[in-house]
Amino acid sequence: TRFDTIITGGRISTASDTFQCDIGIREGRIAALGHDLGIADETIDATGKWVLPGGIDSHVHISQPSGEGVVMADDFESATRSAALGGNTMVLPFCLQESGVPLRESLKDYHAKAEGSCHTDVSFHLIISDPTEQVLGQDLPALVHEGYTSFKVFMTYEGLALSDLELLKVMAVARETRALVMVHAENYDVIRYLTDQLEQAGRTAPFFHATSRPVIAEREATYRAISLAELSEVPLMVVHVSNREAMEEIRRARQKGLRIFGETCPQYLTLTEGDLEGLNMEGAKYVCSPPPRDHESQQACWEGLQQGVFDVFSSDHCPFRYDDPQGKLTPKGRTSFRWVPNGIPGVGARLPILFSEGVVKGRIDINRFVALTATNHARTYGLYPKKGTIAVGADADIAIWDPGAKNRLTHAMLNDGADYTPYEGMELTGWPVLTMLRGQTIMRDGVLTGIRAGAHVARRISDHA
Ligand code: URP
Ligand code: ZN
Ligand code: ZN
Ligand code: ZN
């Protein structure tokens, strides 16, 4: 038996085990695990390195319309380029339903943009902004069958926020189709009220973005979303959780036996609202929702990752250029935080940050790292065991890490379409040195090989449904 590629000598970690052996790869899949596997066209020596499942980032925004005069900094090429440089083999971006546009039409547009451009595999979640009879009765059930098995709903944002009644209607479809609902949980009216108050007081600097979206607004909406999911008897993923109080709502629900899941992101481990206080408009670089909180909240998010309250760690990559009139600082964006587009880049930085701050500093072990960055994403979103693990029969989606590499993080290393990283200057230990997608090396030593073999992956029903 001959292999296309054999990876030798590495230390392999999955979500449950760590072992030393060679990996034989044939036709894009892992075909053998063992020693003395025989001959291959190519041998990759991973001695002294860690061999992990390729990262799956289940929360990224790419080429999404973001309001008047604002353009997202990444297209599918640049976002997946940064993802591959950061050790990822798959990303799950969103298809946003736009008002008056048939959902399928929008989905076709995203597919057209992604086609032939992607360095990593991709699969779309659907954002439901207008749950019409057509969408609820026809489109969603059909699309779930076609492999779009998760929807995101928003409880805030102009044009996106759903009422509780609408949330219940979407959840009813999820119950029927066994799709997984992801929720952006913040209380819209609280935010609108506080934003008006702050503006009337002349408090329009980026810092007040954080003031306008307090923990209470997130905690309340988290509790309400969980309650609606309980009533609807559906599993729920609460995305981008930023603080202890919201985390505790999820913990309580799980202790009751509800299928409530949580996600947190690098910004909630490493940034605080103090970062929004930068000179001039620099604070706009850190404007995202929910906003970064304080050091105690960071500690809470670490505990959530350690204790299993959070199942997934995603980037919520949502990139806008800073020094650009189509980015953070549109003419309107300069007048008030209200108009600064929400979101920060992070698809390339996610894994090195969690590896260094989590594994190297002893907060989580390597198996938990793999679970939080790959395996649980695959299980949650219907990709397992094809994706998210190293096992015979799985896709050969692999990242090889140099656990001792020392780097001072710069935006250039991430090479996304934005013009900054919120994590500039972080001292990181550990870096991915090779990324392999379905057996093909897409990144080696920080350089892309140019292969753009990324494809769309239809998904099965979530393991949680
Ligand atoms: O500020 C954020 N997180 N922007 C991205 C959109 C979202 O709500 O996830
Ligand atoms: Zn061996
Ligand atoms: Zn969101
Ligand atoms: Zn997001």
Task: Report pLDDT for 227.
Answer: 98
Q: Give the closest residue (by CA) to ligand 1 atom 4.
A: 343
154 Cα to the center of ligand 3, angstroms: 7
Q: Could you give the ipTM of this predicted complex?
A: 0.93
Task: Profile the chain (465 residues) by mean pLDDT over runs of 10 residues.
Answer: 95 98 98 97 98 99 95 98 98 97 97 98 98 98 98 97 98 98 98 98 97 98 99 98 98 98 99 92 97 98 98 98 97 96 98 99 98 98 98 99 98 98 98 98 97 97 96
List of residues 6+ apart from 384 with CB closer than 8 A: 375, 378, 463
Q: Give the closest residue (by CA) to ligand 1 atom 2.
A: 343
The environment of the single-atom ion ligand 4, i.e. residues with CB closer than 5 A, is 316
Q: What pLDDT digit, counting tens, does each position of 313-367 carry?
A: 999 999 999 999 999 999 999 999 999 999 999 999 999 999 999 999 999 999 9
Q: Assess whether the C-beta atom of 422 lies below 6 angstroms from ligand 1.
A: no
By DSSP bridging, strand 50-53 and strand 88-96 are unpaired
Task: Report pLDDT for 279.
Answer: 76
| pTM exceeds cut of 0.95 | yes
Q: Assess whether the C-beta atom of 288 lies below 6 angstroms from ligand 1.
A: yes
Candidate of 318, 328, 347 to mutate for ligand 1, largest count of ligand atoms within 8 Å of Cβ: 318
**Nearest residue to 367 via CA among 79, 10, 19, 1:** 19
First to last CA, the chain: 40
Q: What pLDDT digit, counting tens, does each position of 230-279 carry?
A: 999 999 999 999 999 999 999 999 999 999 999 999 999 999 999 999 87
Percent of the chain with pLDDT over 90: 99
Candidate of 58, 62, 342, 347 to mutate for ligand 1, largest count of ligand atoms within 8 Å of Cβ: 342
List of residues 6+ apart from 193 with CB closer than 8 A: none
Q: Assess whether the C-beta atom of 316 lies below 6 angstroms from ligand 1.
A: yes
The Cα–Cα gap between 399 and 129 comes to 36
Contact between 126 and 91 (Cβ < 8 Å) = no
21 Cα to the center of ligand 1, angstroms: 41
316 Cα to the center of ligand 3, angstroms: 8
